[in-house]
Structure 1
């Protein structure tokens, strides 16, 4: 037998962007990322450089609570760009140290009474910086469709690796770029792909803003402001999951498969398990956006509190008026966004991370 074949990468981003594909069951496969945002950041930066919208040496700026910040800093490191991050108060010392060593400059917000106030402060700071430095390029990860570009490469990986059977993609909605970018590229090949999106209670994206989930800390799967990068018409089914259910999924994934992953991955694992039981003929691909390290204390250290995910079931609903915690599911049917965005709520006036129930810190 020959020696295993390994790739020698030109930059760490090439190694980090590629997920490990792990079978969780007969018809469920997990795409386990260290940080899935590397696809978005690399694809966006390359596209901007090729089009001339940015040039080497220019400063890219965005607001972040951690994962996108690190991905953007690594992309800037690779392509000779400067990086400035307006960081959430939730960014920890480990993340900040990584950003600074990579050469990024960091404005971190002071402690806040709540994450909405943290978001408002970051919005103001980004605007101040852009007013003083018009040469900065604002990445607008929530609103600029350039962040879809990198996920075409992920779609090529899925096409080349997984069998050509009917496919269901299960993942957190967040900015919309990861699930939307992957599924849009897959559908363009003619493949039959269903998209199952996951939302927290408290997010405006799919109409749960009138709920709150005090324990929720799952960053990046919902938002308190509208995101232009969320294309509602791509989604077939939507699940709303609270913190306790996401925790059950994350702890269950570790117990059953020895995979240490974040809360959005835990929510996706829970949802995919239920979806796969209902539709055993389809292959289900679970998007595992990041590792579980930033949830070590608030989730995994409390593993004895976690419910057995095998006992949990969602509440099927027919309309948003029927939405109830802790877990609801609705056939969305690829309908457009039902909300009419008022002029004073235009997404391009906001720059900050999502402030919502599940992952406020993809």
Structure 2
């Protein structure tokens, strides 16, 4: 029976589990979200209200390249909060108008070709706003582990949809509060889970700050600033994927399965196919965190340039010094940061255990 929802945020958060064919004949499973971070935002806002850290009518503020902005605006609308977004230029007109109608105030930093400069400008602007408005609550999606909470429900869904047995979960690392959280909750249930994180070149999160993608860093799955809520010890394998390869895989995903999803989904799909080829003993699930709408001009319009999937193979590396565009992969083996191999990343402060 179809359930009647009280708010759109509740209706759109659940992913569609979709079988995606692979050349081996064994299907991959794609968890296709309309906007995955709704789980994160709803869980965080609900927890803040329940614990009394904020009250209805308070203003929540954060920085976003797009997906989290929409999620936070929906969560604030759902729970009667005010919302202020400091966005990058990737927040396009369509999204900006939606945010404004939902009641959020939106400002964007000046355009920049340098992701680190863009993110630093956004953080600096938030700090300026907080000085003038000390009652605002900064959500800190990049640092606060409160954003793990909402993903328990996704882990429950994976446990229900994917048959018992060893599992491999593949998806963008991002702030750490998606792939990391889902895997941790599944492991808490006793599931054997290999976690494969996907990163762009140029992201410092797993030590690739010394590299650069000739096209662009894929927004949302990595950063040139430190994300302190990433628990590096949760990850078994890492893949670094260029814009060119992610675009090619996203086009193939649409062509072969009908799934229209973003660049992070293309990178996760490409990585999941490789991991499945190397380990047939596990069911492989990859995350498609958002739709492909905001990538139409930057990526999908270039579909004629897409590379054949069979032509793309990762460089397997043992050291981060060997990272090489367009695609590198490495066994991370659930290690902490700061053991000598990792470059460009300081050791993050230890976060509280998962609630």
- State the TM-score, normalizing by the size of structure 1: 0.91
* Displacement after TM superposition at 1:27 (Å): 4.1
Deviations 1:148-198 (A, max 9, x none): 000001111111222111100000111010011100100001110000001
Q: Indicate the larger mover: 61-70 or 210-219.
A: 210-219
Equivalent position SS for 1:124: helix
Question: Secondary structure at the residue paired with 2:76?
Answer: helix
State the alpha-carbon separation in 2 of the partners of residues 44 and 347 from structure 1: 21
SS at match of 2:89: coil
Distance in 2 between the 1:346 and 1:193 partners? Answer: 25
Aligned to 1:269: 269
Cα RMSD (Å):
1.8
| 1:6 matches 2:2 | yes
Q: Does 1:188 align with 2:184?
A: no
Determine if contact 1:27/1:276 at 8 Å carries over to the other structure. no
Task: Tell me the residue number matched to 2:111.
Answer: 111
State the match for 1:85 in structure 2. 85
- 1:356 is aligned to none
The question of 1:16 aligning with 2:12 is answered yes
Q: Distance between the aligned counterparts of 2:213 and 2:99, measured in 1?
A: 30
Q: Which runs of 4+ in 1 moved over 2 A?
A: 110-121, 338-341, 345-348
Secondary structure of the residue aligned to 1:171 is strand
Relative to 1, partners in 2 of residues 1:242 and 1:150: Cα closer, same or farther, differing over 3 Å? Answer: same
- Work out the CA distance in 1 between the residues paired with 2:296 and 2:287: 20
CA contact (8 A) 1:100 1:106 kept: yes
Alpha-carbon contact 1:151-1:181 (below 8 Å) kept = yes
Q: Distance in 2 between matches of 1:167 and 1:156?
A: 14
Q: Find the counterpart in structure 2 of residue 360 from structure 1.
A: none
1:242-261 paired onto structure 2 within 5 Å: 242-261=242-261
Q: 1:76, 1:129 → 2: CA distance?
A: 18
Q: Is the 8 A contact 2:186 2:193 kept in 1?
A: yes
Report whether the alignment pairs 1:330 with 2:330. Answer: yes
Match of 2:353 in 1: none
Specify the SS of the correspondent of 1:209: coil
> Secondary structure, in 3 states, of the residue corresponding to 1:207?
coil
Shift of 1:240: 0.9
Report if aligned partners of 1:225, 1:347 keep a CA contact under 8 Å in 2.
Answer: no
Instruction: Give the deviation of 1:339 after TM superposition.
Output: 7.0
Is 1:317 paired with 2:317? yes
Native 8 Å contact 1:251 1:306 kept in 2: yes
Do the aligned residues in 1 keep the contact of 2:337 with 2:347 (CA within 8 Å)?
no
Partner SS, residue 177 of structure 1:
coil
3-state SS in 1 of match to 2:69: helix
Identify if the C-alpha distance between structure 1 residues 56 and 339 changes in structure 2 by more than 3 Å, giving closer, same or farther: farther
- Give SS of 2:239's match: strand
Per-residue deviation, 1:259: 1.0
Aligned length: 342
